[in-house]
Structure 1
Amino acid sequence: MSTEQTLEKVGMDEPDDRNTNQANAHPTGGISFADPKPPPNNPGGRDLGLRRELTQDEKQLANAGYEELESKMKATELKGVSADISEHKLSPQQVAEAMGTSITLSNPSSSAGLTAQEAQSRLARDGPNQLTPPKKKSALRKYFDALLSLFNVLLILAGILEYVLLAIDFENNKANEYLGAILIAVAFLNAFIEWYQGQKADAILASFLSMMPPSCKIVRGGEISSIPAQELVKGDVVFIKMGDKVPADLVLFSASDVKVDNSSLTGESEPQERAVLLEGDPVRPVEARNLLFNSTLVVSGEGFGIVVRTGDHTFIGQIAGLTGGEADNKSPLAQEIDDFVKIISFIAIVTAIIFFGVGIGTTYKGKIAATVTFAVSVLVAWVPEGLPATVTLLLSIAAKRMAKAKVLVKDLQGVETLGALTMLATDKTGTLTRNQMTVTAMWTNLKMSSAFESHNDEAEVQHFKKEDLGVREILDICTLCSKVKFDKMDIPFEQREILGDATESGLTRFAGKNLEFDQVREKHPETYSIPFNSTAKWALVVVQKPHANGDLTLYLKGAPERVLDRCSHALVNGESVPITEQFKTQYGEAYQYMASRGHRVIACAQLLLPSAQFPRDFEFSKKDDNCPTQNLCFVGLVSLEDPPKHGVREAIGQLRSAGIKVVMVTGDHPLTAEAIARKITLSLVTRKSWEWDTILNKTEIVFARTSPKHKLEIVKRAQALGHIVGVTGDGVNDSPALKKADLGIAMNISGSDVSKEAANMILLDDNFASVVDGVREGRLIFTNLKRSIQYTVTHSVPEVIPQLLYVIVPIPLPLSAILILVIDLGFELFAALSFAWDCPESSEVLMTTMPRNPRTRTNQMDVEAGNEKTQSRVGKAVHNVVDTVKKPFSKWWWDDLLEKSDGEALVD
């Protein structure tokens, strides 16, 4: 693969030209990037794509363009999401009139809001402001679901048959009283074991969930008060400030430097600016600058808003509602066990009928009741009664081992499903990355230094030292030119939660690690400041910090081009020197170095204010505009990024070695997604047309600018092409895909409650590397399950053969049905359970072999209808034979065999 790779932008969303200046136009309509490093080869050179002829139906599905898909999508999928919210298009006064409330634009705190009586009336009409919990099965329903598995039904029917025989001939079938009871008791015990494990997981999960913020400040009857968030109603006037969770969907009518973290909804890692728009904002709700969404976090500023949606009608409520629309999938293991039960049941019933026919004419001489009892014993001999208990206990033991690795298993069969995955679709923000902006590099004194261990750092870039020229000035600017707040001040700095903008939080965290943060701020108090705003794109502060010519120092930070425009000098070798063209060239190279890696770049500048013009008690005033903002001294550049979590890069390498296709699905911009992908070795290459079979045949894929609908569709398309799909995520926007996937994996610490409810498995410490341990455990338990089942089933042969001899040869009945049950449940069950502790012959073999190919996924899936196209066994056999014969005569088969396949794709 060449190092010059083209990334084709395929429309997953509306066109986005916000970053077109960061890429060169490509003649074919794509955008080109220079790949600084060739992508790593796939371990072993294996092609992880599907090696089978696609059916005509599948080809039509795979080649369906996204626009065609949009028109054919079921109306129930994402119906109403974002379309139900339109108040952001109105002016604040029009919103107030529509909501029947009273506001004062000039003095928001003096707004009248709703009266207490009107609020109570609306609360009774609309209900509380809370998300309706997902529909859950009752404990009794869960138990009966477990009881009605095919295996248990077979045992119950055999037990009932014993009592029927007892009623026909009580004297000769007295033993059947105990035999029937034992068979039915085994079925109920199997169900209880499975039900109990599920109840324990549900109890642990319930302790994590807290769906709504506890309280909020509102204006009612002209007075500001605090009420539980559940009591909010449409039309309420709400006050929000930095650190608050937005309690409902709000339209702002007063805002001061408001920024919100929408990552749980949209997947974007950057805080979004919000402002008052007197004419409204005629865009989609998710892009509206005057709209705040329920459960998002205010990271800076404060403001007042009008509640326009509450509870299930909020944006988050509508997305959460999608999760309930997706039916639960049967795990591959459950499907395979069901198939096995059908086969063994067929063999048992046919054998019992044959023995009945032979026995009634030979040994039993027409005694129907005795012959039926004998046939039932044959049936019991074939059925491994302890198999359900064995499977459940083996999975429970594996789940306990995973719990020690901080992984909560909600669905026991999910343990094995994790080992069977062929594709893992993972969110970026908060899952692969830390969702925490971190300083990675700085450029000062004409020197580039690394500030964070990064896999993309060039070898010649050295780590910074505190004593380096210009470093102390940058640390002081990060410390003093900051508006962040802390949740607590009486604990060590590294243990505090920082409340504020993500960029300022990252700069503050960096400064706190390298100097005495509290002491510096206390020693140099603030005299005057100008906060950051989206127009100026810089923030300024004047502090009492003495220097050779005075007592006051001015610090400024912001967008590099804006800061450089205000500078006439630069700090070089500890001295202020005039900025030259040579300096601007070096600055441009440094800026390009940082920006090309997907980092956010901040410039720093200072001005030592002379005491003759600015004495210590000088009064700065915005009205008089007497604070200097020109002829500053440029100090340097600082770059930040949301870095990958520790162990992610290695974990993805291990998953790839295990034959699992890793796909990044993010709502972030393609360039941001690309930068992170390269760090964790998910590289990118071109693909010109939207063909699902081709895209999903890549070894690594990145989908950018995705919505919840897109994520759900990606999962459906992958499943339609035969993949066992796992999805990891932490946001509300991930929950529909988590529910639809064969295995959903949610994050505990950063994850939303909706995503935890939708998932089958939860990473309690948010450690993505735990997925690797889970895959290893899943593959090991499948290997051990095979051994256990083989052992359990093979003993049926020596139990059936004596029954055959009894019919043919005149010998006493070797084994009665009760003896068979005693052997199966009293001895064989414990021996079969011992396989749970078997160690793999080689730990490397488990994680370097291709995933198994569960038979369940050879069925065709109708993506549009969401149904499986079932075939009879004969039909499947005929189809497989014809398919095998046709393969060598198809162009697709030869192209796939001989053509070198590209390995990666970025889909925007």
Structure 2
Amino acid sequence: MPVKEKKEPTKLAIDDHLLDFAGIEGRYTTSFNGTKPLESRGLSAAEATKRLEENGLNMLTPPKKKSPIALYLECMGFFNTLLFVCGIAEFIVYGEHFYIRVYIGVILTIVANINASIEFFQLLASEKALAGFLNMIPASSQVIRDGQMITIPASELVVGDVVSIRMGAKVPADVYIIQSSDLKVDNSSLTGESEPQERTVQNSMQNPLEATNLAFFSTLAVEGEAFGVVVRTGDGTVLGQIAGLTQGEHKAPSPMSIEMGNFIAALATISITVAIIFFGISFHKTNDVGFALNFAIGILVAFVPQGLPATITMLLTIAAKRMSAKNVLVKELRGVETLGAITLLATDKTGTLTRNQMTATNFWCGEKLYSAYPTNLPVEEIAFDFEGCGIKEILHISAMCSRARFNETGLPIDKRTITGDATESGLLRFAGQKLIDIDQLGDKYAKVFEIPFNSENKWHLAIHEKPHTDGDLTLSMKGAPERVLRVCSHILIDNKIIELTERHSEEFLEAYEYMAGKGHRVIAFAQLLLPASEYPKSTVFTKDPKNFPTTGLCFVGLASLEDPPKHGVREAIGHCRQAGIKIMMVTGDHPLTAEAIGRKINLMLTDTKELRAKKSGMPIEKIPESDISAIVIHGEKIDSLTDADWDLIFSKDEIIFARTSPKNKLQIVKRAQALGHIVGVTGDGVNDSPALKKADLGIAMNLSGSDVSKEAASMILLDDNFASTVNGIREGRLIFANLKKSIQYLLSHVLPELLPFLLWAIVPLPAMINSQQLLVVDLGFELFAALSYAWEPAESERIMYLQPRRPVTVESSERFVKRHSEITEDYGMDPESEEFHSRSFTQKINDGFKLLLKPNFWKRKFSKTDGETLVDSNLMRYAYLEVGIIEFFGCAIAFFVLLHREFNITPWDARNMMTLDANAFTKKGSPYTTLGGRYLSVDDQVQALAQGNSVFYFCVMIQQCFNLFASKCKLGLPFGRYMFANKKTFFSVAAGALFGAFIVYTPGVQTVFLTAWISPIYWLIGIGFVNTKISLNNNIAPDNTVEPSPKQAWIDQYLSKTEIPAISLNTVPIPHLDWTQDITTCTHPRVWRIPYDDGPSAFTPAVLDALEKANVKATFFITGSRLTFDNVLPETLIRTFKAGHQIG
């Protein structure tokens, strides 16, 4: 269905909010039941199809994009524009060798356009790819048609549809509310109101934007639920009428973009300055403007890495495509580069680390602990008893005080699908398995009032027409155990309501900790039998003013639900820790539940202070803080934490925040960033969205994630697999590494091309390379050779064994806080809001000059940065002082060897000739007799320089071809299989060699580039310097390799008790292993199944020594992931197996 063309905007007369139900039904020809929306008829499928064809899709017309011409001009950029201007200048300046200047002008303008075209087409391809990715996550909406609730794409909604709006979803169109359960929407994008606005069926406002019975397209449902009728769609919505609201806000550049921009700006400043100086020197020596201009242009081009912008675009685009193939959607290309720099990853639990598939496991009521399933009962539990005290009440509350519902009624309970969140779905499914009349409960006990669960109350309340001996209405509540118990004054024991005592509270706490300690989510249930004398059946309950009780309830019991961890989470956590990234859990669950899950997924391995005190029997105050590396923080304590407390928390290796609110999660992210952390946040719920938006990189889940979380995030995991985050981090690091290699390669040619010009002006010596040849190197071969790094794979898996490029330590945090404080003061920033104070233009200029006079400003500019930067001293040393000098000497020696062998010209002769006549080696020169007695005519000199230039040019090309491989490897020498992983490198080298030969040996081309035929024997001189260059390669290897402990690396990543099933061999029983304890000897040979990932290889000497000391005899069976062994020390075995070694 095509989107209809956008009409000229006209102001609509919006008066739907002033109509009653009948008026809405009549205007939009629809049918609904305001009292029981689920019984609404809605539109027919045929009518909906007809309206969709007439009015088009429910989509806003996309904002106007830049025209291709405007986008192309933007891609030209500063450097390409500079080349283009220089090219035009070559056409304007007349003089000797005008035809050569025309050639140079043509080359410059063509290359400038080629550079711009590469980036232009890559941007178009990126936009197309990202548009395709975004179409993979279409918004859906629940709508009632023909009396049935169905799910359709939101784009297919039409006027008159009856829709459901749920917490965490975007409002799919402009909707008239017909029934609301505490719905609140975020209208900030329309009205600027920061607080969520309540939506009800009543309205007293005349202004439609202030109407309480209208919910507008694209606003966010942050709380509650509602049903409504669609009254406007697409461009007809209020959002579609307000100019500018669909325009995206300007995005601030990422840290690496700023860093690279600073580098290019500095390089451009230096290159232009040097070019201007040499233009003056050249003009003074030759009095030839054209020659001086060529000379200056050559210097300018030699300085600037012209292929860098295109390389960056291709790097990011290719990485985004690779990540999309691995189910990772990057909403913006700039988000890719942030991934590899993450130092701390804060993750939600439910739906992110766990599967969000809740299954009821235990019930505690009537002071008894029941197991939901009768097999393998622990001694503390008894079998489920339907007649047990409180069981029926819990099942009824689970089914009725709930927003979850079955989508079918004719199927067995196990086969039915459920609409609702995971917790309520798990409770409803279990209740349906035990209650015979589950499908009739809604009609039998009508719901008259409801307050859905929200993060502030942490309970769900409902009132039903459920008769009892003292009245007709029953209030039910379920929610967080501590919150529910707080509003109870009585408890149900032996089917009697008795007063809640301290003993009952202690038993409640014991049962609560037992359930939560197993990593299960625990829900409490309570009810209140409303007396008819105070609450007759005709009572109309309202929130404001509140006319229902929320205290004095009767506590019924507890239920626990298990949410198993997702596959691959343990491995992902291990990989992140190997990469030096700190992982912490931030969840709304109880601390005991969170800690238990944390231990199941190996996020927490060591004892907390409380657990250590309990094990040792020592007072908690006596436990040294330095001995503890794990901590669990309750959300209620966050507001009272001091700066010292935060420093202590983030100094731990294993961190869990439990019972956190959205505000708490935001505080945690801000505190981590204040210490210098680059923070990634993963989550899927509405309560995660503030933290997702504030984080340096927000990562949302696609399948289970709310629209709010997807909107706030920068990256979306399309398969909801937390392990995909590791792929993203690896790609981010690879991008940074390849970009750095590309810059290192591009800068290596600057010195060998610049020094000949410097020596011509200072010594003087003949120009060893001319501007035409220099342009061919920099803008021809080098450009495409540098782009080949875009396809460079990871050098080795050691890329995930390195610290983040800016690791956070105590010392770096102190420096970061100090720098941030100084910047806040110097730049007039509000430390709370992190926004700049309002200043006029003249004030900004005045403050800027004052800033230059402050010593802290210059101290910060020249202070050492923490961690690895894009262009650092190692890279500059390698490119300029090591490789650059080696390449120059290789080319210069080849130049003078050729002059001496072919023309008997020594370096001293060359200097004398240039000293006596500045026009030597040109048509304007004079004959000269060398010290060896050879007479050189003017033509001989011109030919000598042409051959010398040719060999210098060709040696630069050859050495850069080898440098292309040398720059690949930062972790070792450029040998082995890795050299052949990127075939485009070989294409670049082959193209470079052919292109160089074409320039030197093609007769017609020789005239343009002033080259001449040379013997291939002279190539060997440049090649001879390659070995020295390659031997220097290890000097730039990073020294930030992570050395994780065996327990935190190998156990984290590959092993857990649940992955090692009990099996037997030769009738010898094999129990589950507890890998946290050493088993020093085994009396019988045994077989354990262990995850096998890396493939077999040879044992290293260190591993063999360890095995020998432990008296271990091991054999790998290649066809299966099995080991048979005697006398095995588990720690040694784990390390051995992770390495993928084999002896047999």
TM-score range, shorter chain: 0.5 to 0.7
SS of residue matched to 2:777: helix
1:66 paired residue number = none
Give the corresponding residue for 2:251: 328
Decide which moves more: 312-321 or 487-496. Answer: 312-321
Q: 2:270: which partner in 1?
A: 347
Amino acid at match of 1:144: Y
CA contact (8 A) 1:729 1:746 kept: yes
Q: Choose which of 362, 366, 382 in structure 1 pairs with 2:303.
A: 382
Q: 1:374 to 1:112 in 2, by over 3 A?
A: closer
Q: Which whole-Å deviations, capped at 9, do the CAs of 1:248-305 have from their partners, x for residues lacking one? A: 56675668xx687989999xxxxx9x99888999xxx9999x9878689999999875
The equivalences for 1:486-501 within 5 A come to: 486-487=406-407, 497-500=417-420
Structure 2's unaligned 5+ residue stretches are: 1-13, 43-50, 190-195, 451-460, 468-474, 479-483, 528-536, 539-554, 599-630, 864-1144
| 1:212-223 → structure 2 map (5 Å cutoff) | 213=141
> Do residues 779 (structure 1) and 743 (structure 2) align?
no
Residue among 728, 745, 748 paired with 1:794: 748
Query: CA separation in 2, counterparts of 1:780 and 1:184?
Result: 28
* Alpha-carbon displacement from aligned partner over 1:438-494 (angstroms, at most 9, x marks no partner): 536433796647889xxxxxxx995999x9353898799869984765446899977
Which residue of 2 is the match for residue 51 of structure 1? none
The alpha-carbon distance between structure 1 residues 146 and 421, as it changes in their structure 2 partners (threshold 3 A), is farther
Counterpart residue number, 1:407: 328
1:804 aligns with 758
Match of 1:588 in 2: 508
Contact 1:448 1:461 in 2 (8 A): no
Does 2:101 correspond to 1:173? Answer: yes
Given the alignment of the two structures, is residue 530 of structure 1 paired with residue 445 of structure 2, yes or no? yes
Provide the secondary structure at the position in 1 that maps to 2:633: coil
For the pair 1:368 / 2:323, whether they are aligned, the reply is: no
> Equivalents in 2 of 1:448, 1:263: separation in Å?
43
Of stretches 382-391 and 290-299 in structure 1, the one that deviates more from structure 2 is 290-299
The answer to whether the 8 A contact 1:603-1:636 is kept is yes
Matches within 5 A, 1:408-807: 408-421=329-342, 438-439=359-360, 441-443=362-364, 448=369, 468-470=383-385, 482=399, 485-487=405-407, 497-500=417-420, 503-509=423-429, 529-530=444-445, 569=494, 588-589=508-509, 592-593=512-513, 599-602=522-525, 637-640=558-561, 683-684=633-634, 686=637, 699=650, 705-706=661-662, 724=678, 726=680, 728=682, 742-751=696-705, 756=710, 759-807=713-761
* Structure 1 CA distance for aligned equivalents of residues 667 and 556 of structure 2: 48
Query: Do the aligned partners of residues 738 and 319 (structure 1) sit closer, same or farther apart at CA in structure 2, a change above 3 Å counting?
Result: farther
The residue number in structure 2 matching 1:5 is none
Query: 2:74, 2:34 → 1: CA distance?
Result: 63
Aligned partner (choices 781, 793, 806) of residue 826 of structure 1? 781
| Alpha-carbon offset, residue 383 of structure 1 | 1.5
Match of 2:802 among 845, 859, 870: 845
* One-letter amino acid matched to 1:340: F
In the other structure, the counterpart of 2:319 is 398
Q: Distance in 2 between matches of 1:820 and 1:132?
A: 52
TM-score normalised by the chain length of structure 2: 0.47
- Relative to 1, partners in 2 of residues 1:715 and 1:206: Cα closer, same or farther, differing over 3 Å? same
Residues 808 and 586 (structure 1), Cα distance of their counterparts in 2 relative to 1, 3 Å cut: closer
Higher mean displacement: 191-200 or 526-535 = 526-535
Separation in structure 1 between the aligned mates of residue 187 and residue 417 of structure 2, nearest angstrom: 19
Structure 1's 128 and 320: CA in aligned 2 closer, same or farther, altered over 3 A? farther
CA shift at 1:174, angstroms? 3.2
In structure 1, the partner of 2:120 is: 192
Aligned to 2:111: 183
- 2:65 aligned residue: 137
Assess, with a 3 A threshold, how the Cα gap between structure 1 residues 379 and 87 changes in structure 2: closer, same or farther.
Answer: same
Distance 1:697 1:156 in 2: 57
CA distance in 2, matches of 1:831, 1:395: 14
Query: Bigger relative contact order, structure 1 or 2, given CA contacts below 8 A and separation 6+?
Result: 1
Bigger Rg, which one = 2
Q: 1:682 to 1:763 in 2, by over 3 A?
A: farther
- Find the aligned partners of 1:848 and 1:447 in 2 and give their Cα distance: 55
Contact kept, 8 Å, 1:422 with 1:723, in 2: the verdict is yes
Corresponding residue for residue 1128 of structure 2: none
**How far apart in 2 are the matches of 1:388 and 1:179?**
19
- How far is the alpha carbon of 1:192 from its aligned partner? 2.7
Query: What secondary structure, in the 3-state scheme, does the structure 2 residue paired with 1:850 have?
Result: coil
1:539–1:711 Cα change, 3 Å: same
**Matched ranges for 1:823-902 at <5 A:** 823-824=777-778, 825-826=780-781, 829-830=784-785, 833-834=788-789, 836-839=793-796, 841=798, 843-846=800-803, 850=807, 863-865=834-836, 879-880=855-856
Partner amino acid, structure 1, of 2:291:
A
Change in CA separation of 1:767 and 1:830 when aligned onto 2, cut-off 3 Å: same
Q: What amino acid is the match of 1:393?
A: M
3-state DSSP class of the match of 2:494?
strand
Residue ranges of structure 1 left out of the alignment (5+ in a row): 1-84, 115-122, 220-225, 267-271, 453-459, 543-555, 571-575, 605-621, 624-633, 888-908
Contact persistence 1:426–1:665 (CA under 8 A): yes
Structure 2 residue identity aligned to 1:505: S
- Once residues 447 and 316 of structure 1 are traced to their aligned partners in structure 2, the CA distance between those partners, rounded to angstroms, is 56
Number of aligned residue pairs: give it.
Answer: 711
| Cα distance in 1 for residues equivalent to 2:578 and 2:343 | 12
Q: Are 1:203 and 2:131 counterparts?
A: yes
Counterpart position of 1:48? none
Aligned counterparts, 1:90-169, within 5 A = 132=60, 135=63, 137-138=65-66, 140=68, 143-144=71-72, 147-165=75-93
SS across alignment from 2:309 = helix
CA–CA distance in 2 between the matches of 1:315 and 1:437?
40
Answer whether contact 1:293 1:315 (CA < 8 A) is retained.
Answer: yes
CA distance in 2, matches of 1:480, 1:696: 44
CA change 1:768–1:231 in 2 (3 A) is closer
CA distance in 2: counterparts of 1:206 and 1:752, whole angstroms: 15
- Determine the C-alpha separation between the residues in 2 that align with 1:381 and 1:569: 90
Q: Is the 8 A contact 2:575 2:726 kept in 1?
A: yes
Contact 2:343 2:804 in 1 (8 A): no
Aligned in 2, Cα 1:854/1:759: closer, same or farther, shift over 3 Å? farther
Kept in 1: contact 2:409–2:439 (CA 8 A): no
TM-score by length of 1: 0.58
Q: Secondary structure at the match of 1:147?
A: helix
Q: Secondary structure at the match of 1:599?
A: strand
User: Residue 814 of structure 1: CA displacement?
Assistant: 2.8
Structure 2 CA distance for aligned equivalents of residues 754 and 100 of structure 1: 29
**What are the Cα deviations for residues 376-433 of structure 1, in whole angstroms up to 9, with x where unaligned?**
1121111122223333333344334433432123433322222234566767775566
* Contact 1:749 1:764 survives alignment (8 Å): yes
Q: Is the 8 A contact 1:217 1:239 kept in 2?
A: no
In structure 1, what is the Cα distance between the partners aligned to 2:92 and 2:644? 55
> In structure 2, what is the Cα distance between the partners aligned to 1:206 and 1:447?
51
Give the stretch that moved more between structures: 670-679 or 814-823: 670-679
1:722 Cα deviation from its structure 2 partner: 6.7
CA distance in 2, matches of 1:742, 1:106: 44
1:288-299 alignment runs, 5 A limit: none
CA RMSD in angstroms comes to 7.0
